[in-house]
Amino acid sequence: MKVLLVDDHPLILSALQTVIRGLGEDVVVEGVDSAAAARAVLSRNADHDLLLLDLALGDTSGFDLLVELRQAYPALPVVVVSASERTSDVIRAIDLGAMGFVPKRSSQAQLTEALNTVMSGGLYVPPMMLGLLPSARPSDEEDTAPAVMQTRAAPPLGPRARAESHQQLQALASVGLTPRQAEVLALLLKGLPNKLIARELKLSVETVKDHVAAVLRALGVSTRTQAVLAVSQMTQMASAQPRGDDAAAADDGAGPTG
């Protein structure tokens, strides 16, 4: 697997390279410190499997580069790794086609989880951004260095918050999409515009628009970004629930201890 890192902070770039190399023996990592250098690398060899992008680059806006990358290399998954924890930045990044958003304060385990999710075809959004977990904000006394640069273990994010009524989403399988709508949704989650979805599925753009509208209705949302976030939320909520066998085992093990 070939990974390209784009971050203009030398220490963070080095730390990320170390973390990514630890994902497997077959991982090849290249780090660059500017948008110009990223363009040069990709122009020489676009055969990368993943790109990690910082939003605060010295020579251009990370958002602008994200748009450029999605247009020039639509098959290349991009994961934003940013010091920002603003929900607006998460939504904007996903709206522009990022397949994941990882705050730099995330632990190495969370970064690994995010990258594995994206490489398996999923989309990763931090649970605290979706209201599934309370947002962890540093106090004035806390160490605000990115977790990938910390030698101590990152503190846990805290207990899982109870989902509000609007978060009680159905499992994706029960939404009731047709096979074609499911195909459209899968490509929509990759950030592809209608024109590229139409080309991929050999459909007209108008037909794709109809399918996208049907998918949004089925998910109970009104925009593509909301659909992406809703699916991410459903996926993460489902993965957090114990399997039936586990729940049964827990029930069997429960009993009086006195």
- Mean pLDDT (the chain) is 77
- Give yes or no: residues 7 and 124 share one domain: yes
When mean pLDDT is compared across 186-195, 198-207, 213-222, the lowest value belongs to 186-195
Residue 124, CA distances (Å) to 81, 97, 114, 141 in order: 11, 12, 6, 30
When mean pLDDT is compared across 12-21, 112-121, 168-177, the lowest value belongs to 168-177
- Give yes or no: residues 149 and 173 share one domain: no
Query: What gap in Å lies between CA 45 and CA 63, rounded to an integer?
Result: 22
* pTM given for the model: 0.63
pLDDT value of residue 174: 67
Six-digit token pair at 17? 């390279």
Between 84 and 154, where is the model more confident?
84
Mean pLDDT of 33-54: 94
- Give yes or no: residues 232 and 153 share one domain: no
Say how many domains are in the chain.
2
- Give yes or no: residues 58 and 124 share one domain: yes
Please check whether residue 120 lies inside any domain of the structure.
yes
Residue 173: CATH number of its domain: 3.40.50.2300
- Give yes or no: residues 10 and 105 share one domain: yes
pLDDT value of residue 61: 92
- Give yes or no: residues 148 and 21 share one domain: yes
- Give yes or no: residues 150 and 172 share one domain: no
> Which of 157, 189, 220 is the C-terminal boundary of a domain?
157
Mean pLDDT of 97-110: 88
Contacts of 31 (CB under 8 A, 6+ apart): 4, 5, 6, 7, 13, 14, 16, 17
Please check whether residue 258 lies inside any domain of the structure.
no
- Give yes or no: residues 153 and 172 share one domain: no
Query: What gap in Å lies between CA 107 and CA 99, rounded to an integer?
Result: 19
Please check whether residue 255 lies inside any domain of the structure.
no
Mind listing the pLDDT tens digit for each residue in 173-193? 667 889 999 899 888 877 777
pLDDT value of residue 159: 33
Please check whether residue 71 lies inside any domain of the structure.
yes
User: Is residue 246's pLDDT more than 70?
Assistant: no
Residue 61 gets which letter from DSSP? B
Please check whether residue 254 lies inside any domain of the structure.
no
Contacts of 239 (CB under 8 A, 6+ apart): none
User: Is residue 73's pLDDT more than 60?
Assistant: yes
pLDDT value of residue 4: 96
Q: What percent of the chain has pLDDT over 70?
A: 71
Six-digit token pair at 221? 């949302």
pLDDT value of residue 204: 93
- Give yes or no: residues 151 and 174 share one domain: no
Neighbours of 27 (CB within 10 A): 15
Range of the domain at 180: 166-245
- Give yes or no: residues 126 and 212 share one domain: no
Helix, strand, coil percentages for the chain (3-state, nearest 5): 50, 10, 40
Six-digit token pair at 255? 């009993």
- Give yes or no: residues 57 and 183 share one domain: no
